Amino acid sequence: MRIVIAGGHGQVARLLNRRLADAGHTPVAIFRDAAQTADVVASGAEPVVLDLEKSSPDAVAAALRGADAVVFAAGAGPGSGPARKKTVDRDAAILLADAATAAGVRRYVLLSAIGADDFDPALDDDFEVYLEAKSAADADLRLRDLDWTILRPDGFTDKPGTGKVTVAETVGRASIPRADVAAVIAAVVTGNLAVHRQFEVTAGDNPIEAAIAAL
């Protein structure tokens, strides 16, 4: 499969790139800083330098043509401020969906966040804006005529992946290794699992593919 990953230089994305490449797929990483090209290539992905905050749907669609699936794994990141939470975590995810539709790519997997719908609109701090942006992107995707999946992990760790998770529409709060998040995304995309499903995921005791299949 040819799988285009927005935010392709991120920590989860680079783990996903390597996992997909090692399994014989072709990951294509979209990222905005050309200085990161060597890192992206080293992770096993084809590099596409493209700034989703400044690109048109047509420009992004051109990068998606011929793909079997797209993954949104981008994020403004810590310290980026409320404005970029909106332009990346919300607007760029919506832009990617517009571009996928234009390019005829039906499969869209969106990396969201646990508790995204629990934001407090009365608070204007970065984290609440981040949750609100994720919630809005999720809501937009659920209304689209695409084969979407939305996964909402809890806090990331850099511990080694275990290959086991807890998956459900709602789960208790617990962290999860980035490597296991990447493994969940890979399983969902390459196995065409959990289509039209939104689920939360944390570390757990159930093998990844079996846990997702049981949703």
The residues carrying an active-site annotation are 130
In sequence order, what are the beta bridge partners of 5?
29, 71
Beta bridge partners of 200: 152, 168
Do residues 181 and 75 lie in contact, with contact meaning Cβ atoms separated by under 8 Å? no
Q: Calculate the CA dihedral of residues 211, 40, 5, 19 and round it to 10 degrees.
A: -20
CA-based nearest residue to 8, from 185, 196, 142: 185
Give the integer Cα–Cα distance in Å for 215 and 210. 9
